[in-house]
Amino acid sequence: MKTLFSEIQSLFERTYANIGVNLEDCLVDSGRSRQLTALAGAQAAELAETARTFLRASDGQLRIGIYYSKWLIEQLERHDPRAGLSEHNIRELIAFVEEIDHALHAAIQFHQGTTPTHSEDYARNLELQASVDTYLVLTLFMAFFRNPKPLTKFDRRWIRFHLFESRNPHAYRNANLRERYMETTRLARTYTGYLESLAASRRVEEIRLFHALPYDEKRRHILALEDRPGS
């Protein structure tokens, strides 16, 4: 039986590109996570302790470390999202999916010549893409359980609440982190709303084009959507 991790990685690779790496091999334990967090600088200390992705380019290779706390894994094992989404696993699944997405898109960008940097655009690009992709994963999970019936407005509102509305960027003491998560959450909320208006066949083409854009162009694309009449 495939793991939840491998199923999500496979879904992303079918959507975007095969990276030729089993990201489960990049999982690190709590001791290594603490070491990498200390090396990452002061801002990293404010990020979630239950799930993190570490990226570093060295000797022409991309080094990836993905960490999940024992508690988060236990929650997902006790309330496996493949058996249904609920208040018992939705937040944990969001964190789980986002870290896989960070690692996968960092690998895709690295293959295309973009190495991990401390630039804000690099970080915001990964955060925005992860929010969009996680929304799509959550809707796919929910659609599977609703089949053959379509998702209801309540289903979508419930997903959007946990992914967007329940987040509190103001909890970050660091101003840069506050601004990063405020902006990327707002942009992802707008963009996923736009995706909902598209036919399923058109949606796949759109997200592939979107993912290929650098952050500044992603931002301009979404701001243009906000300026459309009726939006």
The answer to whether 110 and 17 have CB atoms below 8 angstroms apart is no
In a domain, 231, yes or no: no
In a domain, 167, yes or no: yes
In a domain, 44, yes or no: yes
How many angstroms separate the CA atoms of 10 and 22, rounded?
A: 10
Q: Pick from 157, 159, 217, 162: which is nearest to 187 by CA?
A: 217
The predicted model scores a pTM of: 0.93
pLDDT, residue 231, reads 55
- Opening angle at CA 127, ends 125 and 129, nearest 5: 65
At 4, list the tokens: 């939840």
In a domain, 40, yes or no: yes
How many angstroms separate the CA atoms of 104 and 196, rounded?
A: 24
The answer to whether 154 and 125 have CB atoms below 8 angstroms apart is no
In a domain, 93, yes or no: yes
If you average pLDDT over every residue of the chain, what do you get? 92
CA-to-CA dists, residue 9 to 24, 30, 83, angstroms: 9, 22, 18
What is the average pLDDT across 21-30?
96
- Residue 150: DSSP 8-state: P
Q: How confident is the model at residue 195 (pLDDT cuts 50, 70, 90)?
A: very high
At 124, list the tokens: 């915001």
Give the 3-state secondary structure of residue 84.
coil
Q: How confident is the model at residue 40 (pLDDT cuts 50, 70, 90)?
A: confident
Residue 41 confidence (pLDDT) above 80: no
Give the 3-state secondary structure of residue 2.
coil
Q: How many domains does the chain have?
A: 1
In a domain, 43, yes or no: yes
Tokens 């902006």, located at residue: 183
> For the segment 108-140, what is each residue's pLDDT rounded down to a tens digit?
999 999 999 889 999 999 999 999 999 999 999
In a domain, 122, yes or no: yes
At 101, the amino acid letter reads D
Question: Domain range holding 220?
Answer: 4-226
